[in-house]
Every structure is written in structure tokens, then in C-alpha cells.
Amino acid sequence: MAIPPCYRFAMSIPTHITTAMTLLRRGAPLLCLLLLGAAHAQPAKGFNDLGTVYFQEGRFADALERFGQAHKLAPEIPAIRRNMALCHQALANEAMENDDLNLALEHLNKAIELEPRLPTPHAQAGAYLFAAERLKEAQPFLEQALKLDNSQLDARAMLGEIAYRANDHAKAETHWKIVLEAKPDWPGLAQRLEKLRREAHIEGDFKRYPSAHFEISFGDVLTEATLSRIFDILETAYQEIGTELGDIFPSETVEVVLYDGAQFAEATQSDPHVGALFDGKIRAPITNKEGRFLQNATLKSRLRHEYVHVVLRHRLGSKVPWWFNEGLAETLSRKMDQSRLRLVRSAFRSEETLSFQELESNPRGQLSPEQVSLAYAQSHVAVAQLWNEGKAKFPALLEAFDKSPSYEDALKSVLNTDYATLEKLTETATNEE
């Protein structure tokens, strides 16, 4: 779902302020002050105007200071308080541009304290928390925004997503229908609603089974033995993978929807070779198409694979190249097998492999099924090599993916490996059977 990158704040600008701004830009601050002073006999209004000038110049901290002075002199003027709140919202925005969510939330809480009935600081705080996947904390902010102004479509769309993630299909559908009625071209939402309806049709009466960090949904009664087997796989993955990647433990309950083989194909509309997937929820079949339970080892490697995606999404959002995401998921969920090494080796010999640069810039959907399975195999071999040689550095690598403008630079800076070197490493590894 698209989240607005930042909120815009509008203040209405009287003409004497436009003139004052021109003076300030031309390097005549004294004239500017004189003009503002002349415009009012009231000093509070003078400070307020100067604050407005700074605000328009994008100097939000300075603006806040001036509005604060004005507020002290004339606490009875509501517009001044509103301006202070707007400054905090703009400063929150700046904090987010520097990836500082805590500071942003501090500013928004101050904005809310100043103007509790202004819907946008609630919506803004909710949006930031939502983007950080802190859905439980986002929800009350978004609900409050909607309570104060029920035309806040962003907040409504996000509340729909939160309900959807918690398997409340009906509530999600209600929110999304309202958004689509107001704005039929809301990016991706019509498809999302269609997906929701398809899933709700199958999963509507699924039973829920919670554990410490997961909630399983399944259409039938699961025996104690089956449940504890599956929870054991998941909770072990939670501890082991979270620890190995640098103590990454999602704060939200991870939803795991289990199906029989036929339901999985129908609900996910995925290709027959897909064993499980993660789309915000882990989805996996526990029986094959004939209705027989999958072997424990198969289920374990599939669930662990998807759980790696959960952790990376929690840590990095989408700031990770997909080939790396898949390669790491494979590395931490199954042993390398010889047939996979042979596939990659022969692809190197016939020059059919794609470079990591090409993989990075080509979404999976643009590759043929053969290219995708080769890419998975190649990425598995590559990431397994990196993992074997330097798994202790993986937490730093994830940090670099998060912060560096280029994934290749991140690899270079942390593991001293550029894409060309990684390709050589991968090719060499296939020759070491």
C-alpha cells in the first residue's frame, strides 16, 4: 500500500508576510522586522508573523521558537497554538527524513498535546508507525484521526490493512470499500480488495491457534500433536534466525495461514511449484494435493524459509535485494544439495546465469520460470558462501543495506565483496563438490 512520503502543511500567508519574506531572502532582515513590527501594534502577532516567515523558509525550529514566544504573550489566540502544532508536524517530517522515528513521534505527541482535535498529527504518527510495521501502536492513532475527521482516507486505508493482517476480513473490507468509493484509483487497492475477498471466501471460518509469537489459522481442527510440531518449528525459527541475524524479533504477532493443498492453490493463485509464500502473512499448505500431510522436514524448511522473509521485512522493509532475500531464506532453511550446485555450474558454463546487478534491477515477475529457479539456486549458492565465510558480519550487512544508497556498496563495505567478486565466489563454490 502506498503511504504518503510526507505530509504537506499549509498556512495562509498575508501579503505583508510575502513582502517580508522577499526582504529576508534579499538579505535585509532588519527591514523585514521593521515591516512586521509596523504591521501590528501587538508584539505577539509580530512574533507569529516572523514564525510564519521562517516556516515558509523551511526553518521549522526557528519558526517554532517564534511561535512559542507569541504563544507566551497571547496564550488565548488559538491560531498561534495551531502554528506550533504545524511546526512540530514539519519537524516530525524532517526527523523521518533522517530515519529518526522516536524523535518524529516526540514531535507529533507535542503537536497532539497542543491541538488534540487536529486530525493530521494522529494520522501522521499512525502512518509512521504503520510504515515501521508497528501496527498495534499505529492503530489507536489512526482510529483517532478517523474519529476527528472521517474523510482521512490514508488513515482508513491503513486501518483496513491492519484489520486484514489480523484476519478481520469483514472490517478490512468495510474500510477499503469506503476508500475506493471516494477514490476508485487508489493505488493497488482494488486488487487488494479482490485478494481479500478470495481469501475471506476460503479462510472466513478458519480456526485460530495462538502461540507466543505466532497465530496459526487453519480450516480444520488441528490435533495437539500437529500443533505443537508446527509451533515448535516456528518458535525455534523465531529464536534461531532472529538471534543469528542480530537479535531481530518482530514485535507484532506473525500470522501463519495454513491450508490443505487445494485451498493453498486457490487462495494464493500461485504457480504449482510454489511451496509457501510470505505476503505479510506466512501462507503454506500442510497437506499435498492428495490430502496427505507433508513430511516434517519439508514443512520445516518451507516455514523457516518464509520466516527469514518475515525477519528481513521487519528489519529492512523493502530495502534488500530480492535475490539476497531468497538466497538467505534458502541458506537458513535447507542444506545445499548437489543437484542445485550442478544446475548453477552448468549455467555458468553455458553463460546463462544473470549477474547480481541484473537480478537486482529485474523484478522476479519479469523473469521466466526457468530464470527464476536458476536465480534462486544461484542466490542460494552465493549467500551460503557469504554466510559460511562471514556470518558474524551479517547484522552489519543488514545495517548497511538499510543505510547505504547501493546494495553493492553495502556488500563491498561490510564483506569486501563486489558483485563481480561474488559471481566468481559463486562459480568457484559450484566446482567444489
SS3 content of the chain, % helix, strand, coil (to 5): 65, 5, 30
Binding mask 43-82 for Zn ion (x = CB under 5 A): ----------------------------------------
Report how many residues bind Zn ion under the rule CB under 5 A: 2
Please state the closest distance from residue 320 (CB atom) to Zn ion, in A. Answer: 12
Which is nearer to Zn ion, 71 or 283 (by Cβ)?
283
The three-state secondary structure class of 134 is coil
**Binding residues among 159-198 for Zn ion as defined by CB under 5 A:** none
Which is nearer to Zn ion, 115 or 326 (by Cβ)?
326
Please state the closest distance from residue 99 (CB atom) to Zn ion, in A. Answer: 26
The three-state secondary structure class of 416 is coil
Please report, for the chain, how many H helices and E strands are present, in that order: 21, 5
**For Zn ion, which residue has the nearest CB?**
329
Cell numbers 544446475: residue: 343
Which is nearer to Zn ion, 27 or 365 (by Cβ)?
365
Binding mask 307-346 for Zn ion (x = CB under 5 A): -------------------x--x-----------------
Which is nearer to Zn ion, 92 or 329 (by Cβ)?
329
Please state the closest distance from residue 277 (CB atom) to Zn ion, in A. Answer: 7
Please state the closest distance from residue 278 (CB atom) to Zn ion, in A. Answer: 7
Residues 6+ apart with CB under 8 A from 98: none
Cell numbers 510564519: residue: 52
- What single string gives the DSSP state of each residue in 19-45? HHHHHHHTT-HHHHHHHHHHH-S-HHH
The three-state secondary structure class of 271 is coil
Which is nearer to Zn ion, 9 or 322 (by Cβ)?
322
Cell numbers 563486489: residue: 418
Q: How far is CA 270 from CA 1, 266, 283, in A?
A: 20, 8, 11
Q: H-helix or E-strand containing 214?
A: strand 214-218
Please state the closest distance from residue 222 (CB atom) to Zn ion, in A. Answer: 24
Neighbours of 389 (CB within 10 A): 12
Please state the closest distance from residue 423 (CB atom) to Zn ion, in A. Answer: 21
Q: Are 359 and 379 in contact (CB under 8 A)?
A: yes
Which is nearer to Zn ion, 282 or 329 (by Cβ)?
329
Which is nearer to Zn ion, 154 or 330 (by Cβ)?
330
The three-state secondary structure class of 256 is strand
Please state the closest distance from residue 329 (CB atom) to Zn ion, in A. Answer: 5
Please state the closest distance from residue 327 (CB atom) to Zn ion, in A. Answer: 10
For 291, which DSSP code? Answer: S
Which is nearer to Zn ion, 69 or 331 (by Cβ)?
331
* Interface ranges with Zn ion (CB under 5 A): 326, 329
